[in-house]
Amino acid sequence: MGSLPGVLFPLRLQLWPRSRAVTMSTTADVFKTTSLSSENPIFLYDVPLSLQKISKAVIFLFNLFFQRKFIVHRLTGLLYLIQYALAFYLYFKNYEIFKNSFLIWSLPLTGLIQSITAIYTFTFLSKTKVDPGYYSDRGTLSYPFIVENSFFASLLLFQWLYYSNQFYNLISYTIIIENVIVFIPYIPRMLWPKTHFRESLKNSEKNKTKPNRKFYFVVTFITKIFYIWAKHYIGYFLNYVRFLDRATDKQIYYIYLLLIFSAFATTIAVFLHTLKFKGYIGPRTSFIVYMISYLATFYSFIQIRHIFIINFDLTLYVLIGLLLNFTRFQHPYQISLMILFNLFKFNVLPANIAQYLFLTK
């Protein structure tokens, strides 16, 4: 036992430097690691965080687009979003490729198909509501709103094709289809159900939460005013310009940008409602993005503002139609314009009458 301390002490002397060496080595490693992590945050934290974000994104996409329930509608929507992103990119990257690409017909056609799949998918929605359900933060869309969206998707498809040189002559040869959609689309519109902005405003106590009630009242009223403008000047006016073949290449360039924004407001806006309904985005965010998309169409009109002056005759005819919008004279007026414009287009009108009615020299 007397020799045991003598044995242990040398062991301590031998072990202590090793322990200290290990400690110093560990400290150095920690310092080195800390230095690396401070120089490059990815070293410790960003890799797992990035993987976590990727994982969440995959789950998010799966829940939205790949669940078996409503799978046809989901996949059609995904296809539309991919095409929309590609169209947006090509328009700014290389307009020549864009205007001659398949997207000119496939994007709006997919939008129409998407609206049709919605009709056959969401049959469980209320069929009696005339309140669209879109202009609120409480409740779901009404089935009539889903159905009538296919009408606007059809008009949008026509305009995309009508302003394309690939399809313009073909549409002109149809005569009946061209005249019906250019001049009297709101007569066959009666085949679709109709929802009303006023019902959404009237039901504010029921379909809007108190904090958002004033917000939705204001934005719904703005949207209603825009809708009337869009019906007559994005719809009738631009179609009249093309019917008489007055659009220049520069004007068509900006009109296609307008149509890209319109595609968002017609189809992707419904997707925004889905994101809102599932809680991915807030109700105000959803509606503000929708508003930005349709108000962005004014950018194109600003760029081609002279189109209203050059075509002052058409501007005036459309203004009269706008003033008659809520009267029983709207349809007779549009039928009269259809007859008048065809007489002028095919040189049937006497020159002296055409000079006054269409400001020709």
pLDDT tens by residue, 300-337: 999 999 999 999 999 999 999 999 999 999 999 999 99
Q: Specify the pLDDT at position 361.
A: 65
* Residue 207 lies inside a defined structural domain of this protein: yes
Regarding whether 95 and 25 lie in a shared domain, the answer is no
Listed residue (163, 149, 137, 133) closest to 235, CA to CA: 163
Range of the domain at 24: 4-44
Regarding whether 28 and 83 lie in a shared domain, the answer is no
Listed residue (269, 275, 265, 253) closest to 226, CA to CA: 265
Is 80 in contact with 267 (CB distance < 8 Å)? yes
Pairwise CA distance, residues 100 & 102, whole Å: 7
* Residue 23 lies inside a defined structural domain of this protein: yes
* Residue 247 lies inside a defined structural domain of this protein: yes
Q: Specify the pLDDT at position 107.
A: 98
Regarding whether 107 and 247 lie in a shared domain, the answer is yes
Q: Specify the pLDDT at position 12.
A: 36
Q: Specify the pLDDT at position 207.
A: 84
69: DSSP letter: T
Map tokens 């179609």 to a residue. Answer: 239
What's the residue count for the chain? Answer: 361
Query: Considering Cα of 295, then 111, then 195, then 200, what sign does the dihedral take?
Result: negative
* Residue 59 lies inside a defined structural domain of this protein: no
* Residue 136 lies inside a defined structural domain of this protein: yes
Number of domains in the chain: 2
Regarding whether 280 and 189 lie in a shared domain, the answer is yes
Q: Specify the pLDDT at position 47.
A: 56
Say if residue 120 is exposed, middle or buried (CB neighbours under 10 Å; 0-12, 13-18, 19+): exposed
Regarding whether 303 and 185 lie in a shared domain, the answer is yes
Is 161 in contact with 104 (CB distance < 8 Å)? yes
Q: Specify the pLDDT at position 82.
A: 97
pTM: 0.83
Q: Specify the pLDDT at position 11.
A: 35
Regarding whether 243 and 133 lie in a shared domain, the answer is yes
Pairwise CA distance, residues 255 & 65, whole Å: 31
Regarding whether 9 and 100 lie in a shared domain, the answer is no
* Residue 55 lies inside a defined structural domain of this protein: no
Q: Specify the pLDDT at position 128.
A: 79
Q: Specify the pLDDT at position 46.
A: 54
Which residues in the chain come in under a pLDDT of 50?
Answer: 1-45
